[in-house]
Amino acid sequence: MTSLDTPVQYLKGVGAVFAKKLSKLNIKTVSDLLYHFPLRYEDFSNPVDIDRIKVGQQNCLRGRIKEITNSTAWKKRITVTEALIEDETAAIRAVWFNQPFLVKNLKEGDMVCVAGLVKIGKNDIFLSNPVYEKVSSEKELDNLGHLVPIYAQTPGISSRWLRYIIRPVLDRQSKEAEEILPDEILKQNELLPLGHALWQMHFPDSPALAEKAKTRFAFEELFLVELSVLQARLKIAQQKAPAVLLKADLMKKFTDSLCFSLTDAQKKCAWQILKDMERPCPMSRLLEGDVGSGKTVVAVMAALNAIKNGYQAGFMAPTEILAKQHFYQTAKLLRPFKIKIALLTGKEDQIISQKLGYQTKDGFRPETIEISRNKILEKTKKGEIDLLIGTHALIQDKVKFGKLGLVVIDEQHRFGVEQRARLCGKEKGGQMLLPHLLSMTATPIPRTLALTVYGDLDLSLIDQMPEGRKEIITRIIPPEERKAAYQFIKKEVKNDNRVFVICPRIEESETNGEQDVQGQKRGNWSEAKAVKTEYEKLSKEIFPDLKVGILHGKMKSLEKEKTMRQFRDGKIQILVSTSVVEVGVDIPKATLMMIEGAERFGLAQLHQFRGRVGRADQQSYCFLFTDSDSPNAKKRLQAVVKAKNGFELAEKDLAIRGPGSLGGKKQWGLPDLAMANLTNLALVEKTRQSAKEILQQSPSLKKYPLLKERVKTFEKQLHLE
């Protein structure tokens, strides 16, 4: 007797060999198989005569195979399978690529129903990679089903085979599948019951029912996410935190010490954060702001206020480069306030000494001294380090704070009760005092995504750029304008400015990244620009009279730091780099960002690159180089050109490509249907309201044991922590 947890290898027709192939599709159990939903459906319900087909459209035909053969396209080294299909009116070729096994499945004389796109060939028209159903009689052909599911496939596992395996399993298990959604939620939102929805998802009776099934499962996935984040919010609200009083005079002294004025948006966000920290329950806030909008200054204000209230602060960054930048930048900002700051990373540990530091071309640079990791850990535990800055090394078990009041996290948003408690060294009155949490992100998040993924965080938005910043002029550069662009680069360098040149990869031999962020082929990856090759070309052929440098992820930490210092000081004028400069780089004299193979990067990533220039008052530029003729690529790059800021670009990106592009599906960790429906604000808000209503009745979900268990399982599958 099979259950939903039964490994698929024990299903009839599967076995160990096919189970191994199914695992490539993340199908390991019967449940995984049933929830391997179709990507789309082909409509076999209205076949047309071959002489009435329409070129450039999807057509469904039925007929008999007159001949079928395999051949090889030598230039591309792929197998081409061709079948001639005829009915009473005419005949047409059907062409499949890299599916040589079809000559065994389909024979001359077989009757088939095929559906696919009709294209124009050199000498005739043909069906391109059509789906097919083989039938045994004219009667079966006349009674062929309506919508045929097309699934994500892998070598050896076709949609046809999956349909054959799924149907009998569905027949048994759909009756036994336990409904997790409460009855009131199903009725209130007019959702299909689970068993019926599973059938209509795989073998729908009509397009309308297929859509209703999709809505049910999209609702279910979003509902589980909302329950998870709202429960996290409730859990945080039940904890205690230090009440950090707002020291208004201190904040005024800090802002007066700056060489610039805060924007109104910075002031508003700082006020929200500082007032939130006065409450005796843990703050959980997301500070969202465009590249260069000044989030760090706001975070430093919160840290300074906590420190002068007698508490410590921790500042965690995703990379060593960014942690070091925060280390030095924070030291400059807090110079007048005698704050003890230390750096803790996987490679280097430093502490700001009590010396005054020294002046450089770019201003004050604090004096640092090397110190052992054990010494830093000891001082942190005793409360002698006011501000500890580092990478994920901060959340290792050995790191304990004596009196932690605030944790600031840059670009790593999931940091719940357990992670906060791990940093605390002491309990007060028998209960751990959790620190306040401030997360920061430069990835603009549309409202639907923020509501769903960050529903457990309050949002503070810096929607203003500092005064004096000029809009970065962004242009798409086709191949014929490359020489003119090189001349423009020379002009910028002669004006004592710096130029970034970004390439998609390090060396010619690399093949990683062959697919774009949606998993689709982006053309010939071997043609992508490589940093090392481009460095040789630019330094020796294009700009032999200029100082060209190179930067990539395989270089050692000290090499990277030296290169960036030389670039900042003008000893390097043009820096050829990979995406390592996406974050954590601040070069005021950088005025031109040149991106090779721009179509190979996500829009959020392109926006981050563009944010590396225009950080002073000079006019800056971003050149997007592309050889692609793809309409979709052009549409995406045009969105970068037209968008005035990251928030506008994020909305365009959401509309063009869906939410998976906002940093990649892996980053958010949401299932496919939840991701696909994040643009549906009505559905997002409906699931959120339903989750609130259920939690009001049963905060721990004790009244809904099946739902409670499903939420736990669901959380393990997500990347929300």
Q: Residue 224 falls within a domain, yes or no? A: no
The reported pLDDT for the residue numbered 172 is: 84
The string over 371-394, giving b where at least 16 C-beta atoms fall within 10 Å of a residue's C-beta and e elsewhere, is beeeebbebbbebebbbbbbbebb
The string over 143-182, giving b where at least 16 C-beta atoms fall within 10 Å of a residue's C-beta and e elsewhere, is ebebbbbbbbbeeebbbbbbbebbeebbeebbeebeebbb
pLDDT, one tens digit per residue, over 39-85 is 888 777 778 899 998 888 888 888 999 999 998 876 667 889 999 99
Provide the residue type at 469 as one letter.
R
The CATH number of residue 584's host domain is: 3.40.50.300
Q: Rounded mean pLDDT of 533-557? A: 90
Query: Greatest CA span in the chain, whole angstroms?
Result: 93
pLDDT, one tens digit per residue, over 670-702 is 556 766 676 677 888 889 899 999 999 999 999
| Residue 629 structure tokens | 């003729």
- Rounded CA-CA distance 719/721 in Å is 6
Percent of the chain topping pLDDT 90: 35
Q: How confident is the model at residue 280 (pLDDT cuts 50, 70, 90)?
A: very high
How many folded domains does the chain comprise?
4
Contact 599, 626 (CB under 8 A): yes
Q: Residue 531 falls within a domain, yes or no? A: yes
pLDDT, one tens digit per residue, over 171-217 is 888 777 789 999 999 999 999 999 999 999 999 988 899 999 999 99
Percent of the chain topping pLDDT 70: 82
- Say yes or no: 362 and 308 in one domain: yes
Contact 382, 423 (CB under 8 A): no
- Say yes or no: 269 and 298 in one domain: yes
Q: How confident is the model at residue 447 (pLDDT cuts 50, 70, 90)?
A: low
- Say yes or no: 19 and 164 in one domain: yes
Residues 6+ apart with CB under 8 A from 300: 330, 333, 334
Q: Residue 106 falls within a domain, yes or no? A: yes
Contact 406, 394 (CB under 8 A): no
- Say yes or no: 312 and 432 in one domain: yes
- The chain-wide mean pLDDT, for the chain, equals 82
Could you list the residue range(s) of the whole structural domain that residue 95 is in? 46-144
- Say yes or no: 260 and 172 in one domain: no
Q: How confident is the model at residue 288 (pLDDT cuts 50, 70, 90)?
A: confident
521 three-class SS: strand
Residues 6+ apart with CB under 8 A from 95: 80, 81, 82, 126, 127, 128, 129
The reported pLDDT for the residue numbered 663 is: 41
Q: Residue 336 falls within a domain, yes or no? A: yes
Q: Residue 86 falls within a domain, yes or no? A: yes
The reported pLDDT for the residue numbered 140 is: 54
- Rounded CA-CA distance 327/315 in Å is 9
- Say yes or no: 127 and 259 in one domain: no
The CATH number of residue 107's host domain is: 2.40.50.140
Provide the residue type at 310 as one letter.
G
- Say yes or no: 615 and 503 in one domain: yes
Torsion from C-alpha of 26, 32, 34, 39, nearest 10 degrees: -30
- Say yes or no: 574 and 606 in one domain: yes
Q: Residue 705 falls within a domain, yes or no? A: no
Q: Rounded mean pLDDT of 509-522? A: 37
CB atoms near residue 76 (< 10 Å):
10
- Rounded CA-CA distance 202/149 in Å is 6
Last residue of a domain, one of 127, 161, 177: 177
- Say yes or no: 140 and 153 in one domain: no
pLDDT, one tens digit per residue, over 160-169 is 889 889 999 9
The reported pLDDT for the residue numbered 100 is: 86
pLDDT, one tens digit per residue, over 466-494 is 877 788 899 999 889 999 999 999 999 99
- Say yes or no: 430 and 312 in one domain: yes
**Top-confidence residue, 661 or 38:** 38
The reported pLDDT for the residue numbered 93 is: 93
418 burial class (0-12, 13-18, 19+ CB within 10 angstroms)?
exposed
Q: Residue 699 falls within a domain, yes or no? A: no
576 three-class SS: strand
Intra-chain end-to-end CA distance of the chain, in Å: 36
pLDDT, one tens digit per residue, over 229-279 is 888 888 888 889 999 999 999 999 999 999 889 999 999 999 999 999 999
Name residue 70's beta-bridge partners: 81
Residue 412's φ and ψ, nearest 5 degrees, are: -140, 95
Q: Residue 518 falls within a domain, yes or no? A: no
Provide the residue type at 675 as one letter.
M
The reported pLDDT for the residue numbered 359 is: 46
